[in-house]
Chains A and B, each alone.
Chain A
C-alpha cells in the first residue's frame, strides 16, 4: 500500500526558533492534513488543505503556523517561533477523491521537542 512519508522523524529545536516539518503525501491525493498529539493526549486537528489553500483550521493553528505545498509533492508545516507547548508528535495525512469519505492515510509522524 502507498505511504505518506514524513521527515525528520525527530526534531529538536530551541524555543523561539523556526521549524519546518515535511511530508510527502501519496502522489495522487488531493486533500492534506496536519494533526498533532501532545504526549499522553488526544490527536488534535490542526489544518486541512485542498486545491492549494487552507480548507479549515483549528484554534491551535494560529499565526505562528503556516502550511505550504511548494512543489506539488511536498506538504510542509512551518512553526515560525516555537514555544515549549509546541512539543508534540505531528502527523501528516492525505486522502484522495475516491477515499475522502473512507480513510486518512497517516505518516509515521515527526516528534518535535522544543527546549
Chain B
C-alpha cells in the first residue's frame, strides 16, 4: 500500500519570496506522483505530475517539483510566490493495486501568501 506525508500543515510566506512544500511518499510498487491545488471554495485541480522521464516537472504558473527516488520525495517549489497562490496544496500518489489504480492524497499544506 502507498502513503503520502506532507510535513507542513501551513506555510505562511511573503509575496515574491520563494517557497517549498514538502512531500514524502512510501510505496512497494512504482508510483506516479502529483500535486493538486484547491483554491478557496473550489474543487481539486491538477497542478503538475511526474509519470516518468525527467525528474523535474513544471507547471504553467511557475511551480516545479522534483522526483527524488532515493529520498522518496516530491517537493513542490516556486521561486517567487504571488498573493493568488494562496490555496491548499495536496501531494498525491497513484499506484496500481489489487483493484486497479488508486490515488492517495496527503493531508495538505495550506500556503498563505502575505503582502
Contact = CB atoms under 8 A, between A and B. Distances in A.
Interface residues of B, number: 24
A55 B34 contact: no
Interface stretch (B15-23, B59-67, B91-99): B91-99
A33 to B, nearest CB: 8
Interface residues of A, number: 23
Given A102-B32, A102-B49, 8 more contacts: A31-B100, A42-B108, A48-B100, A56-B97, A56-B99, A91-B43, A103-B46, A106-B36
Nearest first, the 7 A-B pairs at minimum CB distance are A56-B99, A55-B99, A43-B105, A108-B43, A42-B107, A106-B44, A55-B100
Nearest to B104: A45
Contacts of A107: 43
The DSSP consensus for interface residues of chain A is strand
18 contacts: A31-B100, A31-B101, A35-B105, A41-B107, A45-B104, A45-B105, A91-B44, A101-B94, A101-B101, A102-B32, A102-B49, A103-B34, A104-B46, A106-B44, A107-B43, A108-B42, A108-B43, A109-B43
B72 interface: no
Contact of B44 (A43, A45, A55, A56): A43
B77 to A, nearest CB: 20
B51 A43 contact: no
Interface string A88-105: 000100000000111110
Interface string B72-115: 00000000000000000010001001111111111110000000
B105 A42 contact: yes
B45 interface: yes
Most chain A CB within a 10 A radius of its CB, from B32, B49, B100:
B100
Nearest to A105: B46
Contacts of A103: 34, 46, 49
Contacts of A44: 105
